[in-house]
Structure 1
Amino acid sequence: MSRYIQSYMLLFLFMYIVEIKSGKLLSLDNVYQKSIAAYTKERWSKCIEYFEESLHLYKLHKTTLINCRLKCKNIPNVIVKENIEDLKIYEKIFKTSQCLQQCTDEGFDKINMYSNTSDDILSDMQQRKPYEYLHICYFQMNALPKAASAAYTFLVANPFNDAMKKNLDYYIDLPEVDINEVDDLESEDYQMLYRLGLKSYNAKQWGETIANMEESLTNYLSWENGCRAECEWQPEQEWSVEVSILVSNSLTSLLICQQNCQNQLKPLFNSGTEFIADLLNYLQICYYYLERFDDVGKAVESYLLLLPRDKNMLENKEMYESFINKSSFVERSDIVYYFKRDQYEKELLQLFHDQNGSNFEINLV
């Protein structure tokens, strides 16, 4: 069962117990507006209540959409079975649209929630804006550890916000706040598993490290797929009467957003490629100590697919080849898929950039 489906079920259960008994349709817009009003009127306990509820509703809203987008991603063609002009693409778009409409209608109906949410509020949620308010509300209610975590959570997504940096510095200097308990309240599973993997690696617990790092890799790939699916919400698109130009602009905006999912790994890693390579590095060491040499070969070869000029790994491979069968050095299929998709997207964006020059800035990691 995927992490998104698990999250969906847990959130659905939460909302069923807390809200659905009233029989009223839930609205993220309404709850968020109540949050802002409570903050403005300095009703601090209500501020906390409404902002926390809005965050739960947003996760429910996002998870419902992501599940539908992933479900409808690979709808098979039924009508057009030959490559005649672009008709296969047209059918795929039509059928995907139909699938999404049906899936989202059913999904939001099941959770008794309005599907329509304003672009401004969705943007605020993506930028973790509620935590910018929440840290003040927590502070006013003397919930200082929560205030520190809320400030840190906002800062993770907005690392150049100097005012929030000062707030966080203030909180961690307070005797009531333990810096080791200041958490990113939006932390993903793959991050937690990675930290657990580092801890077990430093303790030389090779089997436990493998379990954590492999699960972190699986969860990261799942998380990035979800992040990429979320990118299909593109509120402001440049209009053109030329269909090809309109589609090109929309697809470019989508690809840029999908590529930027990797930016959330900063400052520790510049890209998903670097993060996955780091996981593979730990894995090849642990597999070596457990004498799982076939897995060593796969980890090394997959690492070199991502970072082919890495001298240390090239030396490792040369050493391993002295006692490991060369047939073991094969690339993992999940890494090959990730690598090829990433490279193709970068090449397509570079093509668009070359055609449009300085009119369109693209950060190719």
Structure 2
Amino acid sequence: MLRLLRPLLLLLLLLPPGSPEPPGLAQLSPGAPPQAPDLLYADGLRAYAAGAWAPAVALLREALRSQAALGRARLDCGASCAAEPGAALPAVLLGAPEPDSGPEPTQGSWEQQLLRAALRRADCLTQCAARRLGPGGAARLRVVRALRDAFRRREPYNYLQRAYYQLKKLDLAAAAAHTFFVANPMHLQMREDMAKYRRMSGVQPQSFRDLETPPHWAVYDTSLELLGRQEAGLALPRLEEALQGSLAQMESCRADCEGPEEQQGAEEEEEDGAGSQGGLYEAIAGHWVRVLQCRQRCVEETATRPGRSFPVPDFLPSQLRRLHEAHAQVGNLSQAIENVLSVLLFYPEDEAAKGALNQYQAQLGEPRPGLGPREDIQRFILRSLGEKRQLYYAMEHLGTSFKDPDPWTPEALIPEALREKLREDQEKRPWDHEPPKPKPLTYWKDVLLLEGVTLTQDSRQLNGSERAVLDGLLTPAECGVLLQLSKDAAGAGARSGYRGRRSPHTPHERFEGLTVLKAAQLARSGTVGSQGAKLLLEVSERVRTLTQAYFSPERPLHLSFTHLVCRSAIEGEQEQRMDLSHPVHADNCVLDPDTGECWREPPAYTYRDYSGLLYLNDDFQGGDLFFTEPNALTVTARVRPRCGRLVAFSSGGENPHGVWAVTRGRRCALALWHTWAPEHREQEWLEAKELLQESEEEEEEEEEEEMPSKDPSPEPPSRRHQGVRDKAGKPPRAREEL
């Protein structure tokens, strides 16, 4: 009954029609206890699907409010319960000696102290949550991981922006769209929606505001801007606010780690290495290790901007460096020393920090006995090191996993048995995202293929499966030959099916295609140079060999279709263009973005197994290849064309891809598809090869005939006529003399 009444109650909370909407997503029902976010969100999506826009807005906003209230309550209750008298664990349980402690406690005594303290803390948290969240407390508002992930990705704002648009509230629609787009910058549909909002007359620049970004990022960016203008005095309060905001955001994240434990699947337990083994202490240890792992990840989460994949390197130490430099610039030497000493807590051997400290102390003159590192940073480091010790202990003795997010962790803290392995892992830190150095293909595959070919990106770096980017398949001269071939063929009107008309995929581009057989026929007739046609044939085989060696060394691949394709932007039709050069698709199945399924059935070319795109040039705008999730919206990787670059990938639904609009110039590439099925081998390729071989043999014969004979005497007539045949293949008849 309550669930049926919830939409009606929320409708009563809506403002009357025509009332001004408050800015942002203000609380709908001040003072009322929050409702279950998962139920509100589900009801909001049902209302959205039914086209009930006003109830959808109310329910989705209330779901966001309830989720935020749950996080605030967990943070506040955790802090207040930790500060209660007697809440701290006895020092003996923490490994610290107590004065006059007497004999060590027996197993039963420390066990009782530990569990009694845990029970007291649980009681305090339960009572606090009930006061803040209403009867049932946090247990009533428990949110499953899938929903937490949806809120983290800001998915409610995607629905909100569309609902606001239907309600003609463009300012709020733009704000909700911008909020979603900040966290999902590669979302294609939202990218188009944002462009449409910018063109609407009722939307102002200030409408594009982020309603969710943690406040420390705004002041952080402002402080960097002020420092860039050499305004250290104005930047100082912003720098301090950004640091305090970062620490506060970290505390909020850590509080979320103490939420209810969800039942993990076998794969997740194996990945974390902290699965319960059935006993009381194993279960306690497993849950505690997961909490500690989560707390340590808060460093990366706080340092990662919304919508970005990697954290800002050394986020806290870098802020402290800017603080001590700014304080020194305005003459606050005491504060400069405090902050540089805090940097040295992270990196005791930092030469730049030690040099700055010596300089500040010399300028300050007399020593200040009470001058030391910042207390908030000392607390942060001591707590973090204590958690790391426990995680490394569990890693060594319990077989759990832990990826240390901090490059400043002292090596002495790490058990000696783990140091070598962790040293290898440290070389793979997620923020070391410089472009990978090309390595010879033979480094990756134990076969000798083509000299000079390098693997630039593999599947992991392209965020997918069975994808690779390889460079060096063509020299600049070879690219020039193939580009000239495409121009000559286009000039002769020999376009394979498209006749140089507007592209079948977009009205803003022209599309030209040339097959290997057509190229061979044009070369035979003298319309195009034979060098380009021969190179086209040879390069396609080069790509096939490479693709087979990389993806399918145990099973032969055959070319199923080869197509030299050029896309040209039509001048005067590119302004405010929103479409793609080639929409998102898969090569051997029909992609259904709504369900994420890819149906391997006609009209798809179901026999295609691997695809390849070999680029010939980069002197154009747009035209990048991109991969997406199965929803055809979320971009997972993007590749810029260049001469000799091959992008090879499996042709199925695991690799949906498309092409960004070509907005200027002409983009040419050789598209190739490969198959395991020999019956689908490209017959035109074999015909083209035979045709070019015949032409080559004829050219050789003509050259031999034109070459002067070593014998100066003329060839006997009988021998001269031996090789002559008419069109029917018969010797010519001699004219009879009358």
- Higher RCO (CA < 8 A, seq sep 6+): 1
The question of whether the paired residues in 1 share the 8 Å contact of 2:239 and 2:323 is answered with: yes
Matches within 5 A, 1:1-365: 14=27, 16-17=29-30, 20=32, 26-77=35-86, 83=92, 84=105, 85-109=110-134, 116-120=140-144, 121-141=147-167, 146-147=172-173, 149-151=175-177, 153-154=179-180, 162=186, 164=187, 167-168=190-191, 171-172=194-195, 174-176=198-200, 182-233=208-259, 234-236=261-263, 238-264=275-301, 265-266=303-304, 274-325=314-365, 327=368, 330-357=372-399, 360=401, 362=403, 364-365=405-406
Is the alpha carbon distance of 1:249 and 1:300 closer, same or farther for their aligned partners in structure 2, counting shifts above 3 Å?
same
Question: How far is the alpha carbon of 1:191 from its aligned partner?
Answer: 1.8
Name structure 1 gaps, 5 residues minimum: 1-12
> What is the letter of the counterpart of residue 393 of structure 2?
L
User: After the TM superposition, which of the residue ranges 30-39 and 306-315 deviates more from structure 2?
Assistant: 306-315
1:129-187 Cα shifts (integer Å, max 9, x gaps): 3234334434555666655554554455567xx4x255236524742477786443211
SS class of match (1:323): helix
Residue in 1 that maps onto 2:569:
none
The question of whether the paired residues in 2 share the 8 Å contact of 1:145 and 1:178 is answered with: yes
The question of whether the paired residues in 2 share the 8 Å contact of 1:353 and 1:362 is answered with: no
More helix by share: 1
d(CA) in 1 for partners of 2:330, 2:217: 25
1:281-318 Cα shifts (integer Å, max 9, x gaps): 22212211221111111111111222345443333234
Question: How far is the alpha carbon of 1:89 from its aligned partner?
Answer: 2.2
User: After the TM superposition, which of the residue ranges 142-151 and 117-126 deviates more from structure 2?
Assistant: 142-151
The question of whether the paired residues in 1 share the 8 Å contact of 2:321 and 2:340 is answered with: yes
d(CA) in 2 for partners of 1:155, 1:125: 14
d(CA) in 1 for partners of 2:174, 2:318: 30
Question: How far is the alpha carbon of 1:270 from its aligned partner?
Answer: 6.2
TM-score (normalised: structure 1): 0.78
What is the identity percentage for the equivalent residue pairs of Structure 1 and Structure 2?
Answer: 21
SS class of match (2:315): helix
SS class of match (1:322): helix
The question of whether the paired residues in 2 share the 8 Å contact of 1:194 and 1:213 is answered with: yes
Is the alpha carbon distance of 1:148 and 1:298 closer, same or farther for their aligned partners in structure 2, counting shifts above 3 Å?
same
d(CA) in 2 for partners of 1:151, 1:249: 40
User: After the TM superposition, which of the residue ranges 42-51 and 277-286 deviates more from structure 2?
Assistant: 42-51
SS class of match (1:72): helix
Is the alpha carbon distance of 1:304 and 1:229 closer, same or farther for their aligned partners in structure 2, counting shifts above 3 Å?
same
> What is the letter of the counterpart of residue 229 of structure 1?
A
d(CA) in 2 for partners of 1:51, 1:63: 19
1:5-56 Cα shifts (integer Å, max 9, x gaps): xxxxxxxx94554x74xxx984434422221101222333432232122111
> What is the letter of the counterpart of residue 167 of structure 1?
M
Cα RMSD (Å): 3.6
Is the alpha carbon distance of 1:165 and 1:255 closer, same or farther for their aligned partners in structure 2, counting shifts above 3 Å?
farther
d(CA) in 2 for partners of 1:354, 1:152: 46
d(CA) in 2 for partners of 1:125, 1:67: 21
d(CA) in 2 for partners of 1:98, 1:128: 33
Question: How far is the alpha carbon of 1:78 from its aligned partner?
Answer: 8.3
> What is the letter of the counterpart of residue 190 of structure 2?
N
Is the alpha carbon distance of 1:331 and 1:94 closer, same or farther for their aligned partners in structure 2, counting shifts above 3 Å?
same
d(CA) in 2 for partners of 1:250, 1:209: 42
Larger radius of gyration, structure 1 or 2?
Answer: 2
1:165-217 Cα shifts (integer Å, max 9, x gaps): 55236524742477786443211222222223223333444333222221222
The question of whether the paired residues in 2 share the 8 Å contact of 1:148 and 1:168 is answered with: no
d(CA) in 1 for partners of 2:72, 2:363: 47
Is the alpha carbon distance of 1:360 and 1:303 closer, same or farther for their aligned partners in structure 2, counting shifts above 3 Å?
closer
d(CA) in 2 for partners of 1:249, 1:31: 32
> What is the letter of the counterpart of residue 351 of structure 1?
Y
Is the alpha carbon distance of 1:141 and 1:95 closer, same or farther for their aligned partners in structure 2, counting shifts above 3 Å?
same
SS class of match (2:213): coil
SS class of match (1:86): helix
Is the alpha carbon distance of 1:154 and 1:360 closer, same or farther for their aligned partners in structure 2, counting shifts above 3 Å?
farther
Is the alpha carbon distance of 1:266 and 1:169 closer, same or farther for their aligned partners in structure 2, counting shifts above 3 Å?
farther
1:105-125 Cα shifts (integer Å, max 9, x gaps): 122239x98861243344533
d(CA) in 2 for partners of 1:281, 1:25: 42
SS class of match (1:235): coil
1:82-123 Cα shifts (integer Å, max 9, x gaps): 84323332222111011111111122239x988612433445
User: After the TM superposition, which of the residue ranges 201-210 and 190-199 deviates more from structure 2?
Assistant: 201-210
> What is the letter of the counterpart of residue 235 of structure 1?
E
d(CA) in 1 for partners of 2:287, 2:254: 14
> What is the letter of the counterpart of residue 221 of structure 1?
L
The question of whether the paired residues in 1 share the 8 Å contact of 2:27 and 2:62 is answered with: no
TM-score (normalised: structure 2): 0.41
d(CA) in 2 for partners of 1:269, 1:298: 32
